[in-house]
Structure 1
Amino acid sequence: MKSTFVVLTDLSAAAEKAQAYTARLAARLQGRLVLLHVYLSIDPLRNPAELVLTTAAELAGREQAQAALQQQARQLPVPAEAELSVDTLATAVAKAVRRHQPLLLAVGRATQPARLGPALPHAVVPVLRAARYPVLLVPESWPDAALPQRVLVAADGHPFTIAAPVQALRELLAALRPTTAVVHVAPQAHGPSHGDMALKSVWSTNLFGPLTSNSLYEVREETPADGILQAARELNSQLIVLLARPHTFLGGLFHRSVTAQVLRHSPVPVLVLPTVD
């Protein structure tokens, strides 16, 4: 069975960037993509006199969206399937996860902050948190067409265990063969930082290839999010990996969490891996 990647798409430019990026990952495993578009139905509780026209317009809208989705699927360099759902977003994603057992769920992040909502609806946050699947966020402005060769893994120095669906990414990460830096951010200038514990925890996952003491990169006197983004700039990283614990996994995406801040501001793609404490 081919490895599958599900891309949530609203047919925007940001979603197309996520499709192109994810297709390159899928190609490395000779995998396939599923483009999932949730069609937002017109409220059925409208004036009954408008119902027939509304239904006709809605059906036409669905057909137009389906045609656009199929055209995008045909243009991708890997086998791709177009799925249009009229279910709620939560139901559509849950069905896609059950049907396809994807390696990850991918979404695009629009360049303009005001467009973040359409690119990644607030409603998707509890869906992805409940699904407990790896989530890849691709900035619309990311220009690099190459597969990631310099990966930054952010770790806080506390022990963790990766969630079961993350194990399936081992083949993809092995195929990429990236150089991996484990980044630990310490707010204080001096004293113990627990960076060695961060390195050990990441090494124990066996996800990121051989790691040595030279793989550890520490940032001092910064907040965690700012330190991660600083390290990404200094290391010229092409992918940031965040290890998100159950109580924070995308829960603060539009609020205050470290994951939220990195997802909002990272100029490079971000892969969020759920863990179990």
Structure 2
Amino acid sequence: MPAPLLVLTDFTPAADAALQYAATLAAHLQLPLVLLHINRTSVFDPETFTGKIPHRSESEIALALDERIQGLSVPAVPAMMTGRSTNAIRGIVAQHQPALLVLGRPGAAELPAELVSTTSLNLLSEIQYPLLIVPATTQHQLPQRLVLAADNNSFQLAPSARPVQSLLNALQTPVTVVHVAEPEDNDSCHAALASVQRAGLLADGQHPVSTHGVRNLDIPRGLEQAVRETHADVLVLIARRHNVLGRLFHRSVTAQMIRQTQLPVLVLPTL
């Protein structure tokens, strides 16, 4: 059985949108889905008494999972766990060995953007698995062009992220490697492309790869400019481990792009 896409759901509109996007990808890639709900019922959960966590019985959760799976065009299995989110996800990951994790990103009115990026990077650091973060407004269609942001420094993908190469090949979507340079620097992408290829991404020539240099003092703004200029609909980010684990990780480029971009963001962990 091929590695599935693991979709996290809390039954909100953002989670439902992420599920539909994941189902579109899975149908094209011929992959199954695992739909996971984590039932957080502990009195030690800091949000238990805030009203933010709907209290559902196991039968209600099972029904909600089944309703969503019945509407899909790809094979899917439900999963329900109780307990701390990262521990529950780690257990499901060990059981199903998914290709990547998919989660929805609510709008700012529903959840603070800072909390979205913090939760995403905490999950990334603890689970060390590729994350696909899907904004609630994302169209349910296959990506037409991916932008992969890279600097000139070498990196090594975490073992869990290496199969992403096969997914990118199977999508057959054109990829643009983007490098953001300071205004006075050379915006050539040769070194950035070489670092990506040394890491094992885009190395086999099975899909079109181009480069696009941007000059901007602010890297997130430069990436947004590159996304507009290349008409990309998915952004791929390399999450360097020291940025994810550092005390100021919420200021990292990865965190900022998760917060502000309106595209799905695929974040790949590194060693």
| TM band (smaller chain) | 0.7 to 0.9
> What count of residue pairs does the alignment treat as equivalent?
262
Question: Is 1:127 the counterpart of 2:116 in the alignment?
Answer: no
In the alignment, is residue 231 of structure 1 matched against residue 231 of structure 2?
Answer: no
**Structure 1: how far apart are the matches of 2:44 and 2:268?**
38
C-alpha change, 1:149 and 1:207, in structure 2 (3 Å) is farther
Is 2:189 the counterpart of 1:220?
A: no
Matching residue of 1:9: 9
In our comparison, the structure showing a higher alpha carbon Rg is: 1
TM-score (norm 1): 0.85
Cα shift at 1:210:
3.1
From 102, 105, 109, the counterpart of 2:105: 109
Structure 1 pair 121/35, CA: closer, same or farther in 2 (3 Å)? Answer: farther
1:163 alignment partner in structure 2: 158
Q: Percent of aligned pairs with the same residue?
A: 37
Moved over 6 A (4+): 250-254
Measure how far apart 1:11 and its partner are: 0.6
Q: Which residue does 1:200 correspond to in 2?
A: 194
3-state DSSP of counterpart to 1:77: coil
The alignment's TM-score, normalised by the length of structure 2, stands at: 0.86
Aligned to 2:170, the other structure's residue is in SS state helix
Aligned mates of 1:253, 1:271 — CA distance in 2: 21
Aligned to 1:149: 144
- The CA RMSD measured in Å over matched residues stands at 2.9
Task: Provide the secondary structure at the position in 1 that maps to 2:20.
Answer: helix
Encode CA deviations 1:164-186: one digit per residue, 9 max, x unaligned: 11111222111111111111001
C-alpha displacement of 1:66 = 2.0
> What is the rounded CA distance, in whole Å, between the counterparts of 2:192 and 2:206 in structure 1?
12
What amino acid does structure 2 have at the position aligned with 1:210?
G
Q: Which consecutive residues of structure 2, in runs of 5 or more, have no partner in the other structure?
A: 46-53
Secondary structure at the aligned position of 1:255 is classed as helix
Q: State the alpha-carbon separation in 2 of the partners of residues 172 and 37 from structure 1.
A: 25
Distance 2:234 2:78 in 1: 27
Q: 2:254 aligns with which of 250, 259, 265?
A: 259
Asked if structure 2 preserves the Cα contact closer than 8 Å seen for 1:3 and 1:29, the reply is: no
Counterpart residue type for residue 126 of structure 1: N
In the TM superposition, residue 238 of structure 1 has moved relative to its aligned partner by: 1.2
2:185 to 185, 188, 191: 191
Aligned AA (1:238): D
The aligned counterpart of 2:175 is 180
Gaps of 5+ in 1: 46-56
Aligned to 2:49: none
Measure how far apart 1:42 and its partner are.
5.2
- 1:85 aligned onto 2:81: yes
- SS at 2:251's partner residue? coil
Alpha-carbon distance between aligned partners in 2 of 1:236 and 1:121, rounded to the nearest angstrom: 24
Deviations 1:98-145 (A, max 9, x none): 00101001110112354257x9595564333121110000000112x3
Partners of 1:14 and 1:109 within 8 A in 2: yes
**Partner AA of 2:152 in structure 1:** G
Find the residue that maps to 1:136 and give its secondary structure.
strand
